[in-house]
Amino acid sequence: MLALIPAAGLGTRMAAVTGGAPKELLPLGRRAVLRRIVDEAIAAGADEVVVVSSPKKPQIEAALADWQSEIQIPLRVAYQQSPRGLGDAIFCAEPEGDTLILLGDCVYDGGSPSDRMATLVYRGIDGCIAVETVPDEEVSRYGICQVDEMGGIRDILEKPQPHETTSRWAVAARYAFTGPVMDHLGEIFSQISAARPVGEISLTDLLRPAIQSGVDLKAVALQPGQARVDCGTPEEYAQALRLSWS
């Protein structure tokens, strides 16, 4: 399984903390944020890790080269030349086969859902998305999944207002898809990119038509004790530092 870590954002909100260095290389305990995500991917069974970065962040490639001596699977960088959204970033990596996607500014405390998600894909589920419930005031910060009583994802909305959906199941920064579903998402991406050559393409832009075409995605709810820890703003990173990291 390929593990794909989108990390191309320039982190302007974190400039006061990073001094212009990549936020993904900030430390949490004895490991950088990005190294923790790489290790999470390996623990989930990845046999290759691709980090999608920006040409303006050469430190990412240097860090991967440094870590490669300690890691048995290939680590490589793909570049997103301009900030065109998560959907675009994913296909800058030219993914092939089963793919686990781990957002690069989010780690997990108390264990991650990635191993369960990888197992579901290995067993033939089309794909799955990690989800957690959020309060009304946070709905507009996340992709929100409409989940049926069997755990199937029937729709996904990109940062809706609370009155626009009854669901409070927020995407929790991890996705996994089979190779055929990735191929299908790539076809949708090509169609949208051709019709809309300027502007961002979100992953939600790709997932909604995929679901409508019959792709069967499952919601994987976080288990008790698992906590998604965002590190994308100074306030979130400060909160993350208060946790105990090995």
- pLDDT, tens only, 54-64: 999 999 999 99
Q: Supply φ then ψ for residue 12, to 5 degrees.
A: -60, -30
- Residue 122 belongs to a domain: yes
pTM of the full predicted structure? 0.96
Q: CB of 245 within 8 A of CB of 227?
A: no
Where in the sequence is the domain holding 22, given as residue range(s)? 2-129+173-216+228-241
- Residue 76 belongs to a domain: yes
Q: CB of 49 within 8 A of CB of 38?
A: yes
- Residue 15 belongs to a domain: yes
Averaged over 177-182, what is the pLDDT? 99
Q: Is the pLDDT of residue 167 over 80?
A: yes
Q: For residue 124, what pLDDT is reported?
A: 93
Q: CB of 44 within 8 A of CB of 174?
A: no
- Count CA within 13 A, CB hemisphere, residue 32: 17
Averaged over 78-98, what is the pLDDT? 96
Which residues contact residue 213 at a Cβ distance below 8 angstroms, ignoring those fewer than 6 apart? 184
Beta strands 48-53 and 75-79, pairing class: parallel
Q: For residue 15, what pLDDT is reported?
A: 78
Averaged over 138-156, what is the pLDDT? 97
Averaged over 94-107, what is the pLDDT? 97
Q: What is the C-alpha separation between 158 and 139, in angstroms, rounded?
A: 10
Q: CB of 129 within 8 A of CB of 175?
A: yes
Q: Is the pLDDT of residue 21 over 90?
A: no
User: Which of 116, 91, 230, 86 lies closest to 176, judged by CA?
Assistant: 116
DSSP state of 138: G
Q: For residue 206, what pLDDT is reported?
A: 98
Q: For residue 32, what pLDDT is reported?
A: 96
Q: For residue 20, what pLDDT is reported?
A: 80
Residue 120 banded pLDDT, cuts 50, 70, 90: very high
Q: What is the C-alpha separation between 39 and 23, in angstroms, rounded?
A: 17
Averaged over 25-51, what is the pLDDT? 97
Q: CB of 148 within 8 A of CB of 167?
A: no
- Residue 69 belongs to a domain: yes
Q: For residue 19, what pLDDT is reported?
A: 80
Q: CB of 10 within 8 A of CB of 56?
A: yes
- Residue 151 belongs to a domain: no
Q: Which two tokens stand for residue 72?
A: 């048995």
Q: Is the pLDDT of residue 122 over 90?
A: yes
- Residue 156 belongs to a domain: no
- The total number of structural domains that make up the chain: 1
Q: Is the pLDDT of residue 16 over 80?
A: no
- Residue 148 belongs to a domain: no
Q: For residue 208, what pLDDT is reported?
A: 98
CATH number of the domain encompassing residue 26: 3.90.550.10
Q: CB of 125 within 8 A of CB of 216?
A: yes
Q: Which two tokens stand for residue 16?
A: 């006061």
Q: For residue 158, what pLDDT is reported?
A: 96
- Residue 162 belongs to a domain: no
